[in-house]
A and B are shown apart, each in its own frame.
Chain A
């Protein structure tokens, strides 16, 4: 049974079948400025004044950089234009503030296939300059085979 399962995994997955569990290097530190937060808040119409914490989805800026690193890694096998964002969750240990220097470290927590698409579950630990956890950002990416 195991051999059959392995064989099936090899022929159906479009990405590296050993991807689950893989930890990627942390992103370079992102300096959060008042201007960054203001621009983000303004784009979505959120009222924000200097000194306020950043909006709850602001850490996507850092998490997205980590996801980009995963998606462009040639050993992973993702075709960028075949990826859609399926699901997102933020768990905040604390709010993001201007002056933070944030780094995201992404781990692939799951890999399965449904209906011809690779479902890639990721968790990015977003930490500050002291290495303290600020936020955990979980993203599910759906990678379809596509026709291109």
Chain B
């Protein structure tokens, strides 16, 4: 097992990610807009959460650029209230194939997240 790590996710992170990734969808920034489409609150971009998973793998490997494949389903939104939230990631490395578990509030937010190393 790769030991679990917990990452703090804030609204500021989501704004920074929106600007850096070119995805300005307001459901990731504006509470009012998020609620208007039936969400409980602002949610993280699925790709933000996937980027956290890549970060976890990079930190485990100890050097960047070693991920050859990375895949996941976006099964549950990461809800980010004004005070922020925590995303916890752990993994298992079987011969360079890393199966991840990514949770928020005790629930899995990514389906079958897997990274394959070079």
Contact = CB atoms under 8 A, between A and B. Distances in A.
A131 to B, nearest CB: 21
Given A39-B20, A44-B55, A46-B55, A86 B69 contact: no
Interface string A99-138: 0000000000000000000000000000000000000001
Contacts of A47: 58-59, 64
Interface in B33-74: 37, 46-48, 50-52, 54-55, 57-59, 64-65, 67-74
A60 B47 contact: yes
Contact of B71 (A42, A65, A88): A88
A24 interface: no
Interface core residue of B7, B37, B64, B70 (most chain A CB under 10 Å): B64
Interface stretch (A2-10, A11-19, A90-98): A90-98
Contact of A88 (B21, B37, B74, B115): B74
B69 A92 contact: yes
A22 to B, nearest CB: 23
A57 B65 contact: no
Contacts of A52: 64-65
Interface of A: 36, 39-40, 42-48, 52-53, 55-57, 60-61, 64-65, 81, 84-92, 95, 138
Interface of B: 7, 13, 16-17, 19-23, 37, 46-48, 50-52, 54-55, 57-59, 64-65, 67-74, 111, 115
